[in-house]
Amino acid sequence: MKTPTARRTASGTARTHPRRDSARRGFVARLLRKPTAAGSAGYLLLVVLVTVPAGPLAPYSPDGQDLTAALQGPSGAHWLGTGELGRDVLSRLLHGGQVTLLGVVITLAAYLLLGVPAGMVAGYRGGFFDRLVLRTADLVSAVPVIIVLLVVLSVFTGDESAAMAANGLLGAPLLARVVRSATLGVKEELYVRAAVAGGIRDRVIIRRHVLPRVTGVVLVQASVYGAYAVLLETGLGFLGLGTTEASWGSMIAEASKNIGTDPWLLVPSGFMITSFVLALGLLSDGLRDTLAERYAAPARKPPSRRRGGGLRGAASQPVRGQVPGTAGVFEEPDTEALLSVRGLTVSLPIEGTPTDVIRDVSFDLRAGEVLGIVGETGCGKTITATSLLGMLPADGRIASGSVLFEGADLAGADAATLRRVRGRRIGWISQDPVSGLDPSFTAGAQVAEVVRLHTGCTRKEARQRALELFAKVRLPDPARIAVSYPHQLSGGMAQRVGIAAALAGEPALVIADEPTTALDVTVQAEILDLLRELRSAGTSVVLITHDWGVLADLCDRAVVMYAGEVVEEAEVTDLVTAPAHPYTAGLLRSDPHHAVPGEPLPAVEGAVPPPPQWPVGCHFQNRCPRVSEACRAKPVVISQLAELERSTRCIRPLELIGGPAHD
Amino acid sequence: MHRILFRWLLGAVPVVFAVTVLTFVLTSLVPGDPGRTILGANASPAQVRALDAQLGLDHPLPVRYWDWLASALHGDLGDSVTSGVPVSDQLTSRLGVTLSLIGGAVLVAAVAGVALGVLSALKGGLLGRVVDGISLVGLAVPNFWFGLLLMSAFAVRLPVFPVSGYVPLTDSPTQWFESLVLPVLTLGVPATAPVAKQTRDGVLDQLGRDYVRVLRARGVPERSVVLRHVLRNAAAPIVTVLGVVVVTLFGGTVLAETLFVLPGLGGLAVTAAQTQDIPMVQGVALVFTVTVTLINLLIEVVYTMLDPKVRT
């Protein structure tokens, strides 16, 4: 009668943790799938397997002498040569491994037996014990370990086990600190809180739930500390403070005595130690990576990647081949304009494949004008703006098109030309004002640096000019701001400093990338006032925004971007009152400023497709309420609307020009 | 500044106290009778008792510790059991050697580490992997073995530098320099690895920050972006790593000084341990611990100067 019950209990416990067991198996499997980690683990296992049975395995006795064959190189009889008194190096290496391995085992035993429970209890219980553990860890990390070990060895002469145990004890508080923080994370998880609420005893919770979760972290720490123990043990052996038997360290000491006559002796023992420590280090790297994957696993392999694979291969290749030329309205650059962009196409590697992220972008900006660029996040507004200055993300390149600014094409310009334009002819105002400033320098120093760079004046003049600029952007108390660090400034003040720096080179054009997005509403208005003043002073502005209010308030013309393309370009009043592209119309309808109280805000259904998933025809086809077969057939070219100063990328522009904006 | 000093004292005093208590308790465990050890087997029990009394060994442990601490605070660390010379004399005469060794090694690690780290962050690719590989191997190679390789190559095969020994700076600056080159490289080259790794990670992290993009947009030359702004912001964690490096270098001097027969504190610690010269071991442990805590203070001060958020 007893057997079935016992079996039921056994299978019952097995069933309660099937996921954890499979997770653990998966952990080892994933670890061993990494070639370096698997190789290192295999190598360590091999070393253990040959050193433990060294007695029967080694060809000679470790202390067997053969005075006729002392200090010889490798030979058939002695594969790794001989040392002093003709002792066989290979045999001594195998036997010596036992000493080192024993030392590592002793260290790790003390390290783990003290560190793991202390860390778990400190993390789980908190309170006095927690503070004690942390304080001890602080204390131990300031103690020179080797000196303490020398003290131990001067007391327990030649007793290496005592030294290695002391080494483990000295490391244990540091392990406890790591285990503690891992435990803190586990403690907050729902199933642990549920177990606590369920009245399960702490000891059981720690053993059942906390221990399995901190095991990975402990393994990483143990392999690192094991590597350290190997170095320490061989060091003590080298100093002759450890055992008098053959050991890897004492073999190096032997080699050092004979360095003039037999340098070969250095090789086997040195290789042995280095390779063993290296393998432990690589194993710990592998453990750490596997551990990181375990919790990040879902994010690493989005399903769309696999499903989209075929689609992308089919869609993006032909599209890239069919890039519409700069046919249509934008034939030649407008030489009258301050800035004239034509057919600008930027390509970035996405998962290894060079992919267009903006395509065939064209627009003009006349001197003194303010041009807005609108669109949802991910439409390529910022990429467009930064590529005007030749600043692309790593490995990005301008695939085609031109950026004509004051008569020079910046798209093909070299680094020196671009640097002369940046800051001096074109100023840049960034989106996040505080992180746009270098945290280590005062606001005054940063602006003065730019002033000096562009005017070549003295430091003193530059500082003076920085104060003038601060007054110009209406910063209160410029002298105080000048000696403030970015973290001492509010967002609005930081943005004024950023604008002052952008104006330091007296540029003809300022590009502002959502300059008010990160700011409070009241501050937004003040910053917009500054931009309006700029415009009155004759400076041209390219303003990136997704706020129709800002656009209508400040801009003369606007460009609407969708999925890397310009879909509409018009004077702002025309654009707002009578959008021609369905995307513009949709964006306008979803503008919160036009929200009707009590009714849901209409939104454009769906999301902007990322560049690898751009469809063949119109990019907006999957979200467009007016889509037809023709929209999906081939890329749509941007074209001018009859007799109007505006253009759109739609084969069926809304027949609403001059009529009401809403269906 | 007062806050730093106060916080440092709060940490340093317990450390020094703990280490001295620990060494004292440990050394009281020495088997056998110190008086007997010193006087030899032929001494009469009365002579041994007299010496024990003279050494204060007939008092209980806390009293002995208090006596030792009180004299230590007055600069008296007792006499060496083996040579009879005052411990403090030995320590002061040897501290200079160890400090020049560690100073040189830190200099090598800092300069080479930062240069390699910046280069690999900027060039990426192959150089980055080389730095990774070097740091991995650098951590795995025992420094005494690396020292022997250097010795074998540059002192035995090509006799450029002396195999061992030390020449004081005051005797001959060039010979002093030559006698330190190999020991300094022995400790400094492997220590380059963690510095280079931290520098590379820090520089790469900073290069991705917004302010770097803004600086470039303002036309600031790349050289100035990297050397003036990025490196400045990456400096604080590098200094922390250097602090850890210095502490491990103290351990390394024990091996390097023995290997190159330098008359420093590390070598002294080894011989003292071998000969069970307890007052000497205690003295070395005290000096090491105090020096390490002083270095931690220095690191803290530099760190504070580097980070305006902490400073202001």
Name the residue facing B259 among A147, A256, A485 (closest C-beta). Answer: A256
Task: Calculate the average pLDDT of chain A.
Answer: 82
pLDDT in the model for residue B37: 65
Distances (CA, A) of A71 to A87, A89, B154: 8, 10, 22
> Hey, which residues 135-164 in chain B have their CB within 8 Å of chain A?
136-137, 139-142, 144-145, 148-149, 151-152, 156-157
Helix spans in A456-598 (H): 459-472, 478-482, 491-503, 521-536, 548-554, 572-577, 582-589
Cβ distance of A505 and B219 shorter than 8 Å? yes
Name the residue facing A239 among B18, B255, B276 (closest C-beta). Answer: B255
Q: Which residues of chain A are in CATH 1.10.3720.10 domains?
A: 23-296
Tokens of A542: 């390219």
| Lowest mean per-residue pLDDT among A69-83, A520-534, A600-614, B225-239 | A69-83
pLDDT in the model for residue A301: 35
What element of type H or E holds B191? helix B173-207
Model confidence at A311: pLDDT above 60: no
Q: Domain A367-391+408-554 has what CATH class?
A: alpha beta
Evaluate whether A434 touches A486 at the Cβ level (below 8 Å): yes
> Hey, which residues 222-281 in chain B have their CB within 8 Å of chain A?
229, 232-233, 247, 250-251, 254-255, 258-259, 269-270, 272-274, 276-278, 281
Model confidence at A442: pLDDT above 90: yes
Model confidence at A172: pLDDT above 90: yes
Question: What are B41-53's pLDDT values in tens digits?
Answer: 677 777 777 777 7
pLDDT in the model for residue A104: 93
The predicted model gives A185-194 an average pLDDT of 82
CB of A348 less than 8 A from some CB of B: no
Q: Which residues of chain A are in CATH 3.40.50.300 domains?
A: 367-391+408-554
The predicted model gives A42-49 an average pLDDT of 91
Model confidence at A150: pLDDT above 70: yes
The predicted model gives A641-659 an average pLDDT of 72
Determine the Cα angle at A96 with ends A93 and A102, to 5°: 140
pLDDT in the model for residue B35: 65
SS3 state of residue A459? helix
Q: Which residues of A touch B18 (CB under 8 A)?
A: 139, 143
Higher-pLDDT residue of A220, B276: A220
Model confidence at A467: pLDDT above 90: yes
Cβ distance of A453 and B219 shorter than 8 Å? yes
Q: Quote the percentage of chain A above a pLDDT of 70.
A: 88
Q: What is the 3-state secondary structure (H, E, C) of B201-243?
A: HHHHHHHCCHHHHHHHHCCCCHHHHHHHHHHHHHHHHHHHHHH
pLDDT in the model for residue A655: 60
Q: Which residues of A touch B20 (CB under 8 A)?
A: none
CB of A488 less than 8 A from some CB of B: yes
Dihedral over alpha carbons A150, A156, A161, A164 (to 10 degrees):
-20
Q: What is the DSSP letter of B312?
A: -
Residues of chain B with pLDDT under 70: 30-41, 55-57, 311-312
Dihedral over alpha carbons A194, A196, A200, A204 (to 10 degrees):
100
pLDDT in the model for residue A344: 92
- Integer Cα distance of A624 and A619 in angstroms: 9
The predicted model gives A376-395 an average pLDDT of 86
CATH architecture observed for domain A23-296: Orthogonal Bundle (1.10)
pLDDT in the model for residue A3: 42
**What are the φ and ψ backbone dihedral angles of A222, each rounded to 5 degrees?**
-65, -40
Angle between the N-to-C axes of helices B143-151 and B173-207, in degrees from 0 to 180, rounded to the nearest 10: 130
Model confidence at A243: pLDDT above 50: yes
Model confidence at A601: pLDDT above 80: no
Higher-pLDDT residue of A461, A30: A461
Query: What is this structure's pTM?
Result: 0.79
Dihedral over alpha carbons A32, A37, A43, A47 (to 10 degrees):
-100
pLDDT in the model for residue A213: 83
pLDDT in the model for residue B33: 62
